[in-house]
Structure 1
Amino acid sequence: MNWWRREAAAAWTAVMFFTRLPLPSLRHWENGHLQRSAAWFPWVGVVVGGVAAAVWWLAAEVVGLPPLLASGLSLAASVLVTGAFHEDGFADVCDGFGGGYTKERVLEIMKDSRVGAFGAIGIMLMLGLKWQAVAAVSVAQVPLALVSLHVVSRVASGLLMAVQCYVAEEGKAKPLATQLRGGRLIWVIVTGGAALALLPAGAVIPVALTMAAVTAVFALWIQRRIGGYTGDCLGAAQQLSELAGWIALVALGGAA
């Protein structure tokens, strides 16, 4: 298989793995497709952010719903498209790190499919804050910001894979667990940087720095607690980075 076909298969695999879109399966499957798909995380954000932006535009501009309701529908659409994949990871991290005091106990709790008090409270706060933040941003900025922040926030997951090791013995991210290096890491960063251009010029650097700072703090925290990342940590990094971007955008004067 030549280079472009291999990468196209990796990109297709990334969208298949991280969304619930009814895509046809690849004709020729290789185990390496899933590992190589890590370089295409940000492009999943293009798909999810595009759907979220389309729903917001239809609700706010076509139907004429108020921003708060349009924001909620947009958020619901993004959750449906991904099957709450990242939100589930964030909730598991809240449960694991909130209820576990040792590495072994944290990993054990995160493997449990049940949602505990820490996870329920955490996801409620996460979704509520994102909902309010999107509604607070100027309507002229929301559609492009939805695409931009969904793309850039997925760079956070890629960076975790670049600087840390996968620590769980098994899990949903085990098949793609790899440390991003070289050109593939650069591709992830460049893709995210390009998506920042969709934001107002004055917001690009502050939003990027805020998202990077939150990702760095989270990375240091999980490194100290469990010595690396799990699939749930990748989802949590994306969620935290996205929320940080929205809050920064509102703080910079993007409020309606």
Structure 2
Amino acid sequence: MMPSADILKDVLADLRIAASFVTIVPVASAKPAGEGAIARATWALPVAGLLVGFVGALAYGLASKLGLAPGLAALLALAATALITGALHEDGLADTADGLGGGRTRERKLEIMRDSRIGSYGVCALILSFGLRCSALAAIGNPWAVMLALVSAHAAARAGLPAFMSLVPPARPDGLSARAGSPPGRSVAIAFGLGTLILALALGPAKALVGLVLLSLAGLILARLATRQIGGQTGDILGAFEQTGEILILLVAAAFLHAGG
């Protein structure tokens, strides 16, 4: 087999792994991924984010065509993205809020984060997440601008995940993040490059820079909190990172695109 064919095969395999990792779309191979395959495939997470963003944009566009108000269209767009991801990241955000906010010891915090039940901190985090994202999309209003905001937010929010996974060690040896492994430097760089490119094309270089700065600051703060309180990151922490990034990019998009800048 030609080397170029091998490369294409690896790229397609990584795309399938990334899509199956963050969505409920049945694209993964029936054959279990080999050791390190998930970590290697993290470069494709921004591409999977594009898929999620387009689904949300389609829902928003259809709702707008039916004459629904921007607020209702925004809620339907968020519902569509939560549906295609199985609310994976929302679940992570809620568990992170409950664990970091409600536990007194490291062991108790991790125990709370593993509990499928949701507490008051988790409820408040979800209300804020949906409220901020819905308000941002409704403020943007125009379906084309909403599409740009959604695809850039979902791509950029996932583009930082490989770096976060690489720099912050797993908090426990048996969690989802630990099983995924630490992404290699090449995957980290490609994911970051793709996220930056998508963000710049969608929002423009200046706005993309603002978004990247905010994402970096949010990542540093979350990494410090997770390391101090539970000794590292978990799958729930990664979900909280994605949700935080999504919120920040949508707020940047609303601040600039709605203002016509």
Same fold (TM over 0.5): yes
Q: Does 1:94 align with 2:97?
A: yes
In the TM superposition, what is the alpha-carbon distance from 1:109 to its structure 2 partner?
Answer: 1.0
Larger deviation, residues 112-121 vs 90-99? 112-121
In the TM superposition, what is the alpha-carbon distance from 1:211 to its structure 2 partner?
Answer: 2.1
SS at match of 2:160: helix
Cα distance in 1 between the residues matched to 2:11 and 2:257: 40
- With over 3 angstroms needed to count, the CA separation of the structure-2 counterparts of 1:255 and 1:133, relative to structure 1, is farther
Match of 2:73 in 1: 70
Cα distance in 2 between the residues matched to 1:186 and 1:156: 10
In the TM superposition, what is the alpha-carbon distance from 1:81 to its structure 2 partner?
Answer: 0.1
Matched length: 254
Whether the aligned pair in 1 keeps the contact of 2:153 and 2:246 (CA below 8 Å) is yes
- With over 3 angstroms needed to count, the CA separation of the structure-2 counterparts of 1:27 and 1:220, relative to structure 1, is closer
In the TM superposition, what is the alpha-carbon distance from 1:181 to its structure 2 partner?
Answer: 3.2
Equivalent position to 1:123, from 117, 123, 126: 126
In the TM superposition, what is the alpha-carbon distance from 1:105 to its structure 2 partner?
Answer: 1.5
Which ranges of structure 2 fall in alignment gaps of 5 or more residues? none
Equivalent position to 1:187, from 190, 194, 216: 190
Whether the aligned pair in 1 keeps the contact of 2:17 and 2:28 (CA below 8 Å) is no
TM-score (norm 2): 0.89
Q: Does 1:14 align with 2:18?
A: yes
TM-score (norm 1): 0.91
Match of 2:227 in 1: 223
Whether the aligned pair in 2 keeps the contact of 1:11 and 1:40 (CA below 8 Å) is yes
Which ranges of structure 1 fall in alignment gaps of 5 or more residues? none
Residue identity opposite 1:45 in structure 2? G
Equivalent position to 1:166, from 153, 163, 170: 170
- With over 3 angstroms needed to count, the CA separation of the structure-2 counterparts of 1:201 and 1:34, relative to structure 1, is closer
1:102-138 Cα distance to aligned partner (Å, 9 max, x none): 2221111111111111111211211111111111124
SS at match of 1:173: helix
Residue identity opposite 2:161 in structure 1? S
What are the residue-to-residue correspondences of 1:1-256 with 2, within 5 Å?
Answer: 2-23=6-27, 25-26=29-30, 29-60=33-64, 62-139=65-142, 140-178=144-182, 180-196=183-199, 197-252=201-256, 254=258
In the TM superposition, what is the alpha-carbon distance from 1:28 to its structure 2 partner?
Answer: 7.4
SS at match of 2:215: helix
Once superposed, which parts of structure 1, at least 4 consecutive aligned residues long, lie more than 6 Å away? none
